[in-house]
Structure 1
Amino acid sequence: MRAWPAANGRDRAASRERVEQAVLRQGVRFRRLFVMLVGIIVVMSAVLVLLGTIGLLEETRSRPLTAAEQNQYKQEEIARRWQAWPATGVFPEEVKYVGLDKAQQYARRVGIAPQTECGKAVDPSVAGILDDHGCVTMLRATYVDQTATFVFTVGVAVLKDEEARLSATEQLTQDDRVGVLPVAFPGTVTERFGVDQRQRTGWVGAGPYIVFSTAGYADGRTRAAIPPEEILHSELWPAAKSIGNQIAYFLADPPKVPPCTQGNVC
């Protein structure tokens, strides 16, 4: 059998060069594929970042508030007033009311009671209703009329929201013998105003608040001591209702709503 001639040095060098060229060309192809893949990833990432930025700008840019957003703004602003305002903002130093002959007069605030649990500031029958509807707290202050003849305690029951307040007021009775408990301040004209001295009580709803009011005489006369025909005093109870309504109005007065999501400029 014929034997193959041994390869010389030149042939071996040429063979190695061909192999190296083939490997190099394969490496170049892999590198191109890698660069192309990285480029695609970079482009896709840039597109996603751009779309995200556009979406964020679209979401956060100032725009007009919708009707629902305006209503929500009002409700949230009113609901936080009992905390955001100072106590003297909830209970002003003077509250106007209409006296006899429709004369405008002013009740003067004598003192503000410490914030307390709802059930501790009202009669038991009322306390159960407030507790069942998630009453948060009770704020109270006591006023006297312009002549210091009448004493009024106003109580603001803070409910968790307006819906809870509506549910609670549907269950409150119109019994004028129960409601907020009086707050007397020793050393003042109100010091004789207690539970027995309450002539009448009442309430009015406003936003998430129930504003209770009760009235009596500064001289300590009890309800039992007043003839039934005199309990409906021509000035005492109208003044009490007026004071309670004024404080309810302050708390639930609709705030000015900004026209845009970021203020006054859309």
Structure 2
Amino acid sequence: MRARRSTSGLPRAGGEATPGRRNPLGATTGRRSRVRAWPAADSRRRTAAKERAESDTLQQGVRYRRIFVALLGVIVAVSAIVVLLGTVGLLAENRSRPLTPAEQNQYKQEEIARRWQAWPATGVFPEEVKYLGLDRAQQYARRVGIAPETECGKGVDASVAGVLESHGCVTMLRATYIDQTASFVITVGVAVLKDEESRVSATEELTQDDRVGVLPVAFPGTVTERFGVDQRQRTGWVGAGPYIVFSTAGYADGRTRAAIPPEEILHSELWPAAKSIGNQIAYFLADPPKVPPCTQGNVC
């Protein structure tokens, strides 16, 4: 007698498995369904929230990028304006323009003040210097030699040295001349002061004593070799720009000041010639230069 099929789907008695039941669509109940399961509602919310967060992050990045680009543009624009203004200002400053009266005066002062260095020694002390002789006849003094540059205190008498040094004397230049007849010996000394104001202050303190001033310079083997301190007949000076030009003169034959009668000194041609030579050298040094009309030459 056959055992009845169990209606519950359980194994039959004896251990045999009962075939699986079929669902209405024909699939066996023991196999995985091929139909995709729909996501749960909370899963859709999480996905939507994630998408919104990603969208917000993207929008924030876009906003930051726009702000950065805008700031960068502002910086570039400001930099360009600064460079442009600087360039315009530089061009305006460097462009050629007429010199002001103050600039013209400064140009003259600087040009005159540097001549003792810019010019050669033969420029400061020319080989020949014009002077006026008897009856105002034009004559020429000839340069015998140029002494080495020396300290101001070593080129003048002690009383004069103190004045020069107290006003910042820079250096002393000296040269010796003879007149056209080779009868007179003249030493010219150029004291270089810091500026014209210093020179004016110094000359206000110099005495009018014609026995002191520049020390003479003699050159052995020439007609000047007997010209020394005792042979000085007179001394004097003249101011020109930042320079004090000293002159001292004596006789080429070596006569001392004490040996010359006072009346001969007063009526001699010696001192007018020496004074004229010193004035000529002062004129050369302080002659106002030609000033260009514009900052960059003759074209404004």
Common fold by TM > 0.5: yes
Amino acid at match of 2:77: V
Identity of aligned residues (%): 85
Distance 2:288 2:280 in 1: 14
Task: Tell me, in whole angstroms, the C-alpha distance in 2 between the residues paired with 1:200 and 1:234.
Answer: 11
The residue identity in structure 1 corresponding to 2:63 is R
Deviation of residue 13 (structure 1)? Answer: 3.2
Worse-superposed segment, 30-39 or 85-94:
30-39
Q: Residue 178 of structure 2: which of 140, 144, 169 is its match? A: 144
The CA distance in 2 between the partners of 1:124 and 1:254, in whole Å, is: 32
Partner of 1:261: 295
Q: How does 1:22-171 map to 2 (within 5 A)?
A: 22-171=56-205
Query: Equivalents in 2 of 1:261, 1:186: separation in Å?
Result: 50
1:84 is displaced (CA, Å) by 0.2
* Residue matched to 1:200: 234
Local SS of the residue matching 1:189: coil
Aligned with 2:47 (options 9, 13, 17): 13
Q: Distance in 1 between matches of 2:219 and 2:74?
A: 79
What is the total number of aligned residue pairs between the two structures?
Answer: 262
* Greater C-alpha Rg: 2
| Counterpart Cα distance in 2 of 1:157 and 1:102 | 29
Q: Which runs of 5+ in 1 are unaligned?
A: none
RMSD of equivalent CA atoms: 1.2
* Larger CA deviation: 35-44 vs 243-252: 35-44
SS at match of 1:53: helix
- 1:11: how far off? 4.4
Q: Find the aligned partners of 2:144 and 2:267 in 1 and give their Cα distance.
A: 22
Q: Does 1:215 align with 2:249?
A: yes
Give the CA deviation at 1:262: 1.1
TM-score (norm 1): 0.96
CA shift, 1:265, in A, is 1.1
Instruction: Name the aligned partner's letter for residue 186 of structure 1.
Output: P
Gaps spanning 5+ residues in structure 2: where? 1-38
Residue 186 of structure 1: how far off its partner (Å)? 0.1
Q: Give the one of 149, 162, 172 matched to 2:206.
A: 172
Corresponding position: 1:239 with 2:291:
no
Give the Cα–Cα distance (whole angstroms) in 2 for the partners of residues 6 and 233 of structure 1: 138
Counterpart of 1:256 in 2: which secondary structure?
A: coil
1:189 aligns with 2:242: no
Provide the rounded CA distance (Å) in 2 between the counterparts of 1:243 and 1:109: 11
Taking the aligned partners of 1:225 and 1:163, their CA distance within structure 2 comes to 40
Distance 1:159 1:12 in 2: 95
Rounded Cα–Cα distance in structure 1 between residues aligned with 2:279 and 2:206: 17
Paired with 2:193 and 2:42, the residues of 1 have a C-alpha distance of 103
Q: Return the alpha-carbon distance in structure 1 between the equivalents of residues 41 and 285 of structure 2.
A: 106
CA displacement at 1:30 relative to structure 2: 1.0
**Which residue type is aligned with residue 240 of structure 2?**
A
SS at match of 1:232: helix
2:284 corresponds to: 250
More RCO (CA 8 Å, sep 6+): 1
Distance apart, 1:6 and its partner CA: 4.9
Give the alignment's TM-score, normalised by structure 2. Answer: 0.85
